[in-house]
Amino acid sequence: MSLSEESRAELLRLQKLARQYEGIIRTSRNPDQLMRTKRDLKKIYDQIELASPGGLPDDLENPASKAPTQTIQDKARNTRVLKDFDINKCSVYCEDDDVNLLSSLLGIWEKEFATALSEGHVKLEFSLSQERDSHYSQLENSKRTLKTFTDILDDLSRATRDDVKMQMRDMRTRYMRSYLKDTHALVKKLYDFWNLVLGDIHAGGMRCMNKEDIIEFDRKLESATYLSKKPVKEAVEIAVQLLKESLELVNVPELNVR
Protein backbone atom coordinates (compact mmCIF):
# COMPACT_ATOMS: atom_id res chain seq x y z
CA MET A 1 0.00 0.00 0.00
CA SER A 2 1.36 3.41 -1.03
CA LEU A 3 1.40 6.02 1.71
CA SER A 4 1.59 9.78 1.39
CA GLU A 5 4.41 11.60 3.13
CA GLU A 6 1.87 12.97 5.59
CA SER A 7 0.63 9.46 6.41
CA ARG A 8 4.18 8.14 6.80
CA ALA A 9 5.03 10.99 9.16
CA GLU A 10 1.92 10.26 11.21
CA LEU A 11 2.78 6.54 11.43
CA LEU A 12 6.30 7.36 12.55
CA ARG A 13 4.87 9.66 15.23
CA LEU A 14 2.50 6.95 16.43
CA GLN A 15 5.29 4.36 16.48
CA LYS A 16 7.48 6.63 18.58
CA LEU A 17 4.60 7.34 20.95
CA ALA A 18 3.79 3.62 21.22
CA ARG A 19 7.38 2.82 22.21
CA GLN A 20 7.25 5.46 24.94
CA TYR A 21 4.04 3.96 26.32
CA GLU A 22 5.51 0.45 26.09
CA GLY A 23 8.45 1.64 28.18
CA ILE A 24 6.10 2.97 30.83
CA ILE A 25 4.23 -0.35 30.96
CA ARG A 26 7.47 -2.26 31.32
CA THR A 27 8.81 -0.16 34.21
CA SER A 28 5.83 1.29 36.07
CA ARG A 29 4.63 -0.28 39.32
CA ASN A 30 1.65 2.08 39.70
CA PRO A 31 -1.58 0.13 38.98
CA ASP A 32 -3.56 3.24 38.02
CA GLN A 33 -0.83 4.45 35.68
CA LEU A 34 -0.55 0.99 34.12
CA MET A 35 -4.29 0.83 33.49
CA ARG A 36 -4.36 4.27 31.85
CA THR A 37 -1.25 3.58 29.80
CA LYS A 38 -2.51 0.23 28.51
CA ARG A 39 -5.80 1.84 27.52
CA ASP A 40 -4.03 4.68 25.70
CA LEU A 41 -1.58 2.32 24.01
CA LYS A 42 -4.46 0.21 22.73
CA LYS A 43 -5.89 3.36 21.14
CA ILE A 44 -2.53 4.09 19.50
CA TYR A 45 -2.38 0.56 18.06
CA ASP A 46 -5.91 1.05 16.72
CA GLN A 47 -4.83 4.31 15.08
CA ILE A 48 -1.85 2.58 13.47
CA GLU A 49 -4.06 -0.19 12.08
CA LEU A 50 -6.57 2.37 10.83
CA ALA A 51 -3.84 4.35 9.07
CA SER A 52 -2.22 1.22 7.61
CA PRO A 53 -4.78 -1.64 7.70
CA GLY A 54 -2.57 -4.07 5.83
CA GLY A 55 0.21 -3.77 8.36
CA LEU A 56 3.15 -1.40 8.35
CA PRO A 57 5.18 -1.09 5.13
CA ASP A 58 8.48 -2.95 5.36
CA ASP A 59 10.52 0.25 5.49
CA LEU A 60 8.53 1.46 8.50
CA GLU A 61 8.68 -1.77 10.49
CA ASN A 62 11.88 -0.78 12.26
CA PRO A 63 12.61 2.90 11.61
CA ALA A 64 14.81 3.05 14.68
CA SER A 65 17.12 0.49 13.12
CA LYS A 66 18.48 3.20 10.84
CA ALA A 67 20.16 4.78 13.85
CA PRO A 68 22.96 3.02 15.73
CA THR A 69 21.30 1.25 18.65
CA GLN A 70 22.23 -1.53 21.02
CA THR A 71 21.00 -4.87 19.67
CA ILE A 72 19.37 -7.53 21.79
CA GLN A 73 22.58 -9.55 21.42
CA ASP A 74 24.56 -6.62 22.83
CA LYS A 75 22.20 -6.37 25.78
CA ALA A 76 22.37 -10.11 26.41
CA ARG A 77 26.16 -9.92 26.64
CA ASN A 78 25.78 -7.79 29.76
CA THR A 79 23.84 -10.49 31.62
CA ARG A 80 25.08 -13.23 33.92
CA VAL A 81 23.41 -16.31 32.41
CA LEU A 82 21.82 -15.33 29.10
CA LYS A 83 25.25 -14.28 27.78
CA ASP A 84 26.22 -17.95 27.63
CA PHE A 85 23.70 -18.58 24.84
CA ASP A 86 23.14 -17.35 21.30
CA ILE A 87 20.19 -15.08 20.51
CA ASN A 88 19.23 -15.98 16.95
CA LYS A 89 16.58 -14.85 14.53
CA CYS A 90 13.55 -17.13 14.40
CA SER A 91 13.49 -16.40 10.65
CA VAL A 92 15.76 -14.60 8.21
CA TYR A 93 12.80 -12.25 7.70
CA CYS A 94 12.21 -11.43 11.38
CA GLU A 95 13.80 -8.24 12.69
CA ASP A 96 11.78 -7.97 15.89
CA ASP A 97 14.11 -8.21 18.90
CA ASP A 98 11.40 -9.36 21.29
CA VAL A 99 10.25 -12.20 19.04
CA ASN A 100 13.83 -13.32 18.44
CA LEU A 101 14.71 -13.15 22.13
CA LEU A 102 11.65 -15.12 23.23
CA SER A 103 12.02 -17.74 20.49
CA SER A 104 15.71 -18.18 21.38
CA LEU A 105 14.87 -18.38 25.08
CA LEU A 106 12.27 -21.10 24.53
CA GLY A 107 14.78 -23.09 22.50
CA ILE A 108 17.35 -22.71 25.29
CA TRP A 109 14.77 -23.58 27.93
CA GLU A 110 13.52 -26.67 26.12
CA LYS A 111 16.99 -28.08 25.41
CA GLU A 112 18.84 -27.24 28.61
CA PHE A 113 16.52 -26.26 31.43
CA ALA A 114 13.28 -28.19 30.91
CA THR A 115 15.40 -31.33 30.74
CA ALA A 116 17.50 -30.52 33.81
CA LEU A 117 14.48 -29.45 35.87
CA SER A 118 12.26 -32.36 34.85
CA GLU A 119 10.90 -35.02 37.20
CA GLY A 120 13.89 -37.20 36.37
CA HIS A 121 16.27 -34.74 38.03
CA VAL A 122 14.26 -32.45 40.34
CA LYS A 123 11.81 -34.05 42.77
CA LEU A 124 8.96 -31.71 43.68
CA GLU A 125 5.93 -32.23 45.86
CA PHE A 126 2.84 -33.48 44.01
CA SER A 127 1.05 -30.15 43.44
CA LEU A 128 4.20 -28.46 42.16
CA SER A 129 5.01 -31.45 40.00
CA GLN A 130 1.58 -31.20 38.37
CA GLU A 131 2.04 -27.49 37.72
CA ARG A 132 5.46 -28.14 36.20
CA ASP A 133 3.91 -30.68 33.83
CA SER A 134 1.41 -28.08 32.61
CA HIS A 135 4.26 -25.90 31.36
CA TYR A 136 5.16 -28.41 28.65
CA SER A 137 1.83 -28.08 26.84
CA GLN A 138 2.08 -24.29 26.98
CA LEU A 139 5.57 -24.50 25.53
CA GLU A 140 4.24 -26.60 22.65
CA ASN A 141 1.47 -24.05 22.02
CA SER A 142 4.04 -21.26 21.75
CA LYS A 143 6.12 -23.33 19.36
CA ARG A 144 3.10 -23.92 17.12
CA THR A 145 2.27 -20.21 17.03
CA LEU A 146 5.89 -19.40 16.19
CA LYS A 147 5.85 -21.95 13.35
CA THR A 148 2.73 -20.33 11.89
CA PHE A 149 4.30 -16.89 12.24
CA THR A 150 7.53 -17.87 10.47
CA ASP A 151 5.54 -19.60 7.71
CA ILE A 152 3.65 -16.33 7.18
CA LEU A 153 6.96 -14.47 6.92
CA ASP A 154 8.13 -16.94 4.28
CA ASP A 155 4.89 -16.59 2.33
CA LEU A 156 5.08 -12.80 2.53
CA SER A 157 8.61 -12.81 1.14
CA ARG A 158 7.34 -14.69 -1.93
CA ALA A 159 4.11 -12.73 -2.43
CA THR A 160 3.90 -10.55 -5.54
CA ARG A 161 0.31 -9.26 -5.60
CA ASP A 162 -0.47 -6.18 -3.51
CA ASP A 163 -3.72 -7.62 -2.12
CA VAL A 164 -1.93 -10.78 -1.02
CA LYS A 165 0.85 -8.75 0.60
CA MET A 166 -1.73 -6.70 2.48
CA GLN A 167 -3.45 -9.84 3.76
CA MET A 168 -0.15 -11.45 4.76
CA ARG A 169 1.02 -8.32 6.58
CA ASP A 170 -2.19 -8.27 8.57
CA MET A 171 -1.72 -11.94 9.48
CA ARG A 172 1.92 -11.27 10.37
CA THR A 173 0.93 -8.50 12.76
CA ARG A 174 -1.77 -10.56 14.45
CA TYR A 175 0.34 -13.71 14.88
CA MET A 176 3.33 -11.73 16.10
CA ARG A 177 1.22 -10.06 18.78
CA SER A 178 -0.32 -13.39 19.74
CA TYR A 179 3.10 -15.03 20.00
CA LEU A 180 4.57 -12.19 22.04
CA LYS A 181 1.61 -12.04 24.42
CA ASP A 182 1.35 -15.79 25.04
CA THR A 183 5.07 -16.52 25.19
CA HIS A 184 5.79 -13.57 27.46
CA ALA A 185 3.03 -14.83 29.77
CA LEU A 186 4.60 -18.30 29.74
CA VAL A 187 8.05 -16.95 30.62
CA LYS A 188 6.54 -14.96 33.51
CA LYS A 189 4.75 -18.08 34.68
CA LEU A 190 7.98 -20.09 34.55
CA TYR A 191 9.79 -17.37 36.47
CA ASP A 192 7.11 -17.16 39.17
CA PHE A 193 7.02 -20.95 39.50
CA TRP A 194 10.75 -21.57 39.82
CA ASN A 195 11.25 -18.49 41.97
CA LEU A 196 8.66 -19.98 44.35
CA VAL A 197 10.60 -23.25 44.39
CA LEU A 198 13.85 -21.37 44.99
CA GLY A 199 12.31 -19.41 47.85
CA ASP A 200 11.22 -22.65 49.50
CA ILE A 201 14.71 -24.11 49.05
CA HIS A 202 16.32 -21.05 50.66
CA ALA A 203 13.80 -21.22 53.52
CA GLY A 204 14.73 -24.84 54.21
CA GLY A 205 11.36 -26.15 53.04
CA MET A 206 10.63 -29.59 51.63
CA ARG A 207 8.67 -28.76 48.46
CA CYS A 208 11.83 -29.69 46.55
CA MET A 209 12.86 -33.03 47.98
CA ASN A 210 16.34 -33.47 46.49
CA LYS A 211 17.86 -29.98 46.46
CA GLU A 212 21.34 -31.27 47.29
CA ASP A 213 21.42 -33.94 44.55
CA ILE A 214 23.84 -33.50 41.65
CA ILE A 215 22.30 -33.41 38.16
CA GLU A 216 23.64 -36.17 35.92
CA PHE A 217 22.41 -36.50 32.33
CA ASP A 218 21.93 -39.74 30.43
CA ARG A 219 24.01 -39.11 27.33
CA LYS A 220 22.04 -41.69 25.36
CA LEU A 221 18.70 -39.99 25.99
CA GLU A 222 19.42 -36.37 26.93
CA SER A 223 21.28 -33.73 24.93
CA ALA A 224 21.40 -31.13 27.72
CA THR A 225 24.85 -30.20 29.07
CA TYR A 226 24.69 -26.71 30.59
CA LEU A 227 23.60 -27.75 34.09
CA SER A 228 25.54 -31.00 34.18
CA LYS A 229 27.18 -31.70 37.57
CA LYS A 230 25.29 -28.83 39.20
CA PRO A 231 23.44 -29.36 42.49
CA VAL A 232 19.67 -29.07 42.06
CA LYS A 233 19.62 -25.94 44.23
CA GLU A 234 22.17 -24.18 42.00
CA ALA A 235 20.40 -25.31 38.82
CA VAL A 236 17.16 -23.72 40.05
CA GLU A 237 19.03 -20.52 40.93
CA ILE A 238 20.53 -20.34 37.43
CA ALA A 239 17.14 -21.01 35.82
CA VAL A 240 15.50 -18.22 37.82
CA GLN A 241 18.31 -15.83 36.87
CA LEU A 242 17.96 -16.69 33.16
CA LEU A 243 14.22 -16.03 33.22
CA LYS A 244 14.67 -12.82 35.20
CA GLU A 245 17.24 -11.48 32.72
CA SER A 246 15.02 -12.32 29.77
CA LEU A 247 11.99 -10.61 31.28
CA GLU A 248 14.07 -7.51 31.94
CA LEU A 249 15.21 -7.35 28.31
CA VAL A 250 11.94 -8.07 26.55
CA ASN A 251 9.45 -5.26 25.96
CA VAL A 252 5.95 -6.70 25.63
CA PRO A 253 2.98 -4.68 26.87
CA GLU A 254 0.17 -6.74 28.41
CA LEU A 255 -2.49 -6.12 25.79
CA ASN A 256 -5.32 -8.24 24.51
CA VAL A 257 -4.79 -9.53 20.99
CA ARG A 258 -7.57 -8.52 18.65
Q: What is the DSSP letter of 101?
A: H
Q: Is 231 helix (H, G, I), strand (E, B) or coil?
A: strand
Percent of residues in the chain assigned helix, strand, coil, to nearest 5: 65, 0, 30
Q: Is the pTM of this model over 0.85?
A: no
Report d(CA 49, CA 148) in Å as an integer. 21
**Which residue, 252, 182, 240, is CA-closest to 26?**
252
User: What pLDDT is recorded for position 64?
Assistant: 43
User: What pLDDT is recorded for position 198?
Assistant: 98
Report d(CA 191, CA 199) in Å as an integer. 12
Give per-10-residue mean pLDDT for the chain (258 aa).
71 80 68 79 82 64 50 87 94 90 96 97 97 96 96 92 87 90 95 98 96 96 96 98 94 55
User: What pLDDT is recorded for position 56?
Assistant: 64
| 218 and 211 Cβ atoms separated by less than 8 Å | no
User: What pLDDT is recorded for position 41?
Assistant: 83
Residue type, 32: D
Per-residue buried b or exposed e for 45-62, using 16+ beta carbons within 10 Å of the residue's own CB: bebbbeebebbbeeeeee
